[in-house]
Amino acid sequence: MAEKLDFSLPAKRPQSSIAGTLTVLLLVALTALAVANLVATVRNRPTETEQTQSGLAADQVKALATRLDQRGLHQEAAGLWRDYAASPALTEAERARAFFHAGVSLEKAGQFAQAIEQYYRSEATAALDELRTQINTHVKQCFESLGNFAALRYELMDRTSLNPSDAAGSKVVAEIGPEKITEAQLDAIVQRGIENQLASVKAFMSPEQLSEQKKRLLEQYRAPQAKQQFLQSWLAQEILYRQALDEGLADKPETKQVLADVTRGVLSQQLMDEKLASKINLTETDLQTYYSANKDKYVEPAKAKISHIRLADEDRAADALKRIGDGEDFATLARELSEDEATKSAGGAIAEDVLGGAYVPGIGDANEVNKAIFAADSPAVLPQAFQTDKGWEIVRVNEKHPERQKPFEEVRQQVTQELLRRKQQEVQQDYIKEMMDKYNVIVHTSVLAPAPPTDSQEPATQK
C-alpha cells in the first residue's frame, strides 16, 4: 500500500529567551552611542548664534579684526569689526564696543564720514561711560578732518547741551511753502558756499591752511546780521530758481547753451584743480630750498620813523631850529608852529615808515631829505631845514632800523604761496600740453595772422 504524502507544515521551534534579550540590549547600546556622537558634534561646532556672517566664530572674527588693526590694515579690520557686531551672541555692551572699534579703524583709514556713522551706532546701541569721552573726541576729530565745521558746531552743542532732547540747530529760520529751513541747514548752505568759493584756490593751500581759511570765513557769518543778510540773498536766489523751472526756462535752447558753456568751464576747472592737488605736494625741504635760493626777495629794507614841522619861510624855520637847539620840546613846537594840519596835533609825528628813495611820507618827493634821514643818528633833529614844494621842513629822526634779512619762519606763508604758484604754473602748462598732444590739437597760426598790407595801404615813397 503506497505511503500517504504529508503536506502539513513543521511546527515552529521556540526561540531562546537569552538570545532575544541580547539583541534588544545591542540595539539600545548602538542607539545610545549614535546619540552621544551627535551631541558631541553639535557641542563642538559653533551654533548659529555663535557664528558670524563670515562663517567664523565671533571670537575668531574679533581676534582677526584686532590683528588686522595691529598690522595697519584698518579698512579691512573695520569690515570685520562690523561683522563681529552683527553676531547675535553679543550683549548690547559688546556690540557697542564693536561699533566703536569699527569707527576707530575707519577713522585711521581716512573714511571719516563712515567712522562717524559707527560712533553713532555705538552710542545708539548702548551708552557706555567708558566710551563717552572717547567718542566725543573722535567725532570732533572726524568732523574737523572733513572740514565740516558747520556740522561740528551743532555736534558740540548737542554733546554739551543740558537738555539733550533739544537738538541743536533745529530751530526754523525760514519757510518756503511747506518746506522749513533750520539753523543747521542754513549753516550747511553757508559752508557749501564757502567751499565753492575756495574751490579755485584749495589746490594751492595745505590742508591746515585750507582748514584755517574755512574757519575764518565761517566766523564772518556767526553774527546774526551777517547770517540774516546771507539768508535773504539765498532765499531770493532760491525762489527765482524755482520760478525759472516753473516757467520752463531750463528747456529753452538758449538756456541749455549757457548751461552747457558753464558746465564746460566748471568741469575743466575742476579737472585742473584735481590734477594740481594730486601733483603738487610741497615738503618742508622744498620750502627751505626755495627760501635759501631766493633770500634776496625776503629782505626788509632800512626804515625810519620821523616827525616834522612845516613852516612857510626860511626865517621862521631858522628860528624854530634855534629854539629846539636851546632845549624846547620838538612835539610842543610842532603843535604850536607847524602848518601841516594832518600831523600838527600829533606833535608832528608821521605814522608811515620812511624807506630808502626819494619819497618821504608826509613831506613828499624830497631826495635830499631822504638821504639826510638815513645818514643821521637817532633820535636826533636834522641840523638844517629843507625847502620843498610845500614849505620849509624841520625833521626829527625818532627811530632807525637797518636792512634786515627776514628769517624763514617769518615769511613761511609767503614762501609757500610763491612756490605753490610757481608749481601750479608748471603743472598746468605740462598737463595742457599733454592734453593737446592726446587730442591732436593743431593751431593754424597763419590763418589768424594779420593780413599783409595791400598796395593801396603801403606808404607812399618819397621821390
Q: Give the pLDDT of residue 48.
A: 41
Burial of 78 (0-12, 13-18, 19+ CB in 10 A): buried
Q: Identify the architecture of domain 58-146 in CATH.
A: Alpha Horseshoe (1.25)
- Mean local confidence (pLDDT), 334-354: 95
What element of type H or E holds 409?
A: helix 408-438
90 compared with 461, residue with greater pLDDT: 90
Can you tell me the distance from the alpha carbon of 430 to that of 424, in angstroms, rounded to the nearest whole number?
Answer: 10
User: Per-residue confidence at 27, pLDDT binned at 50, 70, 90?
Assistant: low
**Is pLDDT at 9 greater than 90 in this prediction?**
no
Nearest to 153 by CA among 104, 87, 215, 103: 215
- Mean local confidence (pLDDT), 209-232: 86
Return the percentage of the chain with pLDDT > 90, whole number: 51
Neighbours of 298 (CB within 10 A): 17
Can you tell me the distance from the alpha carbon of 197 to that of 344, in angstroms, rounded to the nearest whole number?
Answer: 45
- Residues 405-458 pLDDT 10s: 999 999 998 998 899 889 989 999 999 999 999 999 999 988 888 877 776 555
CATH 3.10.50.40 segments of the chain: 302-402
User: Per-residue confidence at 42, pLDDT binned at 50, 70, 90?
Assistant: very low
**Rg (alpha carbons) of the chain, rounded to whole number:** 44
Q: Which three cell numbers stand for residue 27?
A: 540595539
Alpha helices in 247-309 (DSSP H): 253-279, 284-293
**Is pLDDT at 355 greater than 70 in this prediction?**
yes
218 compared with 462, residue with greater pLDDT: 218
Lowest mean pLDDT among 49-58, 172-181, 249-258, 432-441: 49-58
Using the 8-state DSSP alphabet, how is residue 112 labeled?
Answer: H
Q: Identify the architecture of domain 302-402 in CATH.
A: Roll (3.10)
CATH 1.25.40.10 segments of the chain: 58-146
Q: How far is CA 240 from CA 97, 234, 258, 400, in A?
A: 49, 10, 17, 60
Q: Give the pLDDT of residue 151.
A: 72
Nearest to 85 by CA among 62, 117, 55, 105: 62
- Residues 161-217 pLDDT 10s: 545 545 667 788 999 887 788 888 888 888 888 888 887 777 667 677 778 888 888
- Residues 62-109 pLDDT 10s: 999 988 988 889 999 999 999 999 999 899 999 999 999 999 999 889
Can you tell me the distance from the alpha carbon of 67 to that of 98, in angstroms, rounded to the nearest whole number?
Answer: 14
- Mean local confidence (pLDDT), 383-410: 95
User: Per-residue confidence at 115, pLDDT binned at 50, 70, 90?
Assistant: very high
Can you tell me the distance from the alpha carbon of 433 to that of 440, in angstroms, rounded to the nearest whole number?
Answer: 10
Mean pLDDT of the chain: 83
120 compared with 161, residue with greater pLDDT: 120
- Mean local confidence (pLDDT), 397-407: 95
Backbone angles phi, psi at 4, to 5 degrees: -80, 140
The answer to whether 150 and 193 have CB atoms below 8 angstroms apart is no
What pTM did the predictor assign? 0.50
Q: Which three cell numbers stand for residue 293?
A: 635760493
Q: Give the pLDDT of residue 204.
A: 64
